[in-house]
Amino acid sequence: MQNDIDSYQPCESRDEFHGVMTYTFGELLDVPGGVDWDNAPWSWRDVAYDDTQYTRCCRKIENRFYDRELGVMPPSRWRRHFMRLIREIMPTLRPFYALIDNNPDIMLSDSDIWHKMRTVFSDFPATQLTENQDYASNATDNQYETIANGNFMDKVNRIRNNEYVDIDVLLLDHLETCFSPLWTININNY
């Protein structure tokens, strides 16, 4: 009874590929008139944090979704949905990029506290520091920062347990809805 069904026979892979139901993102990358990050309809540079982030994320989008099929047809409607999602999430992510750009070590610290205080002394209140402030003959401003670094191995374990997610990955995860959740609908992936 077991022999009634033929077993799976691996077949030779082919260089040519096509999406099973729609187009793959890779097909849009490889055809003239397809995805061109420097072309106005495909560019989201105006909402990107900077050119470095834009270029890096474009490459990550290509690498992650190259073999994935478009979730909406026709491709022009899909592009509109894709660009809308990028433009929706980038205003949320820009402050995080700025924070890491201005303080790259912040990911390894548990806390970063900025302190500022002023000591004012006056024998004769005759000198006003600035308009609408105290009068003083002597003033000292003190400012300092306290950074508490946590346990390095704890940070490594948090990364290992997926408790840390790269900001670029937040963008990629947001774009998942643009693509079909099916990787293939037949067994030999063609």
Tell me: the pLDDT tens digits for 151-161? 778 888 887 89
Mean pLDDT of 175-179: 93
Q: Which of 16-20, 46-50, 55-59, 151-155 has the lowest mean pLDDT?
A: 16-20
More reliable by pLDDT, 71 or 103: 71
Prior bond of 74 cis (ω within 30°): yes
Is-above-0.85 flag for pTM? no
By 3-state DSSP, what share of the chain in percent is helix, strand and coil, each rounded to 5?
40, 15, 45
Segment 31-56 mean pLDDT: 94
187 in Cβ contact with 181 (< 8 Å): no
Ranges of beta strands (E only) in 57-171 are 109-121, 138-149
